[in-house]
Chains A and B, each alone.
Chain A
């Protein structure tokens, strides 16, 4: 990262089932990072993982929020939802496993790659869940050498 990021913190509400609105946090993060000349690969990793987190709340939960914090050279994204929770986190992390509704799938979501994608885009990934209460995902993004090239998003 060439220059430190301007300190920023914001919470974006996400509503279950509101597919039309999901993605606002990701778009805003990408725009802010772009304006500050953050490397394209870095902005893309943050945007992709944030969008996946928003979509998860939209698909599975009643409601929730995505909080984005930018400070120094790092970005933190926290997603909290009020929803059914995840019974078996290891199973949910498996690529291809999904409990998404037919509606979500008809819209092109719910292929069971969300957590895998968040994990590979983020530099730290932490998930906690309580059945009947909700799920909490915390991701930290730090600069990677390959971000500068703007090449592969998060390979």
Chain B
């Protein structure tokens, strides 16, 4: 699934990183905790989030994520958009909720990221 396919499925508007539209997205994750993202994020993963501050864009870049979808129509500030544009990182805004965005992508075959972290209970892995 490409970033452009994801934008269509989520009825999303593109805010930055148009050059990354053809990027292939191997997995996705919904997360509002940056600490968790820094621990569980995998390269290429698409992030769906309700956080809109600049540090989300910075984190996505450091982790080599393929893009960010802001849910519930939430929009990041100009600084975040400018940083994403300079990094070529796609930013999308969807009017749908986090749950609905994740459900639509999962139903179309986009897998999640398997945590596999030692401190998680086995049933979560």
Could you tell me which A residues sit within 8 Å of B by CB distance?
Answer: 19-20, 22-23, 26-27, 30, 40, 44, 47-48, 51-52, 95-96, 107-114, 116-117, 150-153, 155
B-side contacts of A153, CB under 8 Å: 41-43, 63
* CB–CB A109/B34 < 8 A: yes
Complexed CA–CA distance, A91 and B54 (Å): 30
B23 within 8 A of A: no
Given contact pairs A27-B61, A44-B64, A153-B63, A111 touches B41 in the complex (Cβ within 8 A): no
Given contacts A113-B38, A116-B119, 19 further A-B contacts (CB under 8 A): A20-B79, A23-B55, A23-B59, A40-B43, A44-B62, A44-B64, A48-B63, A95-B119, A107-B51, A108-B32, A108-B34, A108-B35, A108-B37, A108-B55, A109-B34, A109-B35, A112-B35, A113-B36, A113-B39
> Which chain B residue lies CB-closest to A24?
B58
Given contact pairs A44-B43, A108-B35, A96 touches B119 in the complex (Cβ within 8 A): yes
CB distance from B57 to the nearest CB of A (A): 10
How many inter-chain contacts with C-beta < 8 Å in the A-B complex?
Answer: 76
* CB–CB A51/B38 < 8 A: yes
* CB–CB B42/A107 < 8 A: no
Complexed CA–CA distance, A116 and B36 (Å): 11
A44 touches which one: B34, B37, B51, B63 (CB < 8 A)? B63
Interface residue tally on B, bucketed by range: 20 to 34
Complexed CA–CA distance, A114 and B36 (Å): 9
B46 within 8 A of A: no
CB distance from B121 to the nearest CB of A (A): 12
* CB–CB A30/B62 < 8 A: yes
B59 touches which one: A51, A95, A113 (CB < 8 A)? A51
* CB–CB B38/A48 < 8 A: yes
Could you say which of A27, A44, A110, A153 has the most chain B C-beta atoms within 10 Å of its C-beta? A153
A-side contacts of B64, CB under 8 Å: 40, 44, 150
B84 within 8 A of A: no
A155 touches which one: B51, B79, B116 (CB < 8 A)? B116
A-side contacts of B39, CB under 8 Å: 113, 116-117
17 examples of A-B residue contacts, CB within 8 angstroms: A19-B55, A20-B54, A20-B55, A20-B79, A23-B59, A44-B62, A47-B62, A47-B63, A51-B38, A107-B55, A108-B33, A108-B51, A109-B35, A111-B36, A113-B38, A117-B39, A151-B43
In B19-33, which residues have CB < 8 Å from any A CB? 32-33
* CB–CB A110/B35 < 8 A: yes
Complexed CA–CA distance, A108 and B56 (Å): 9
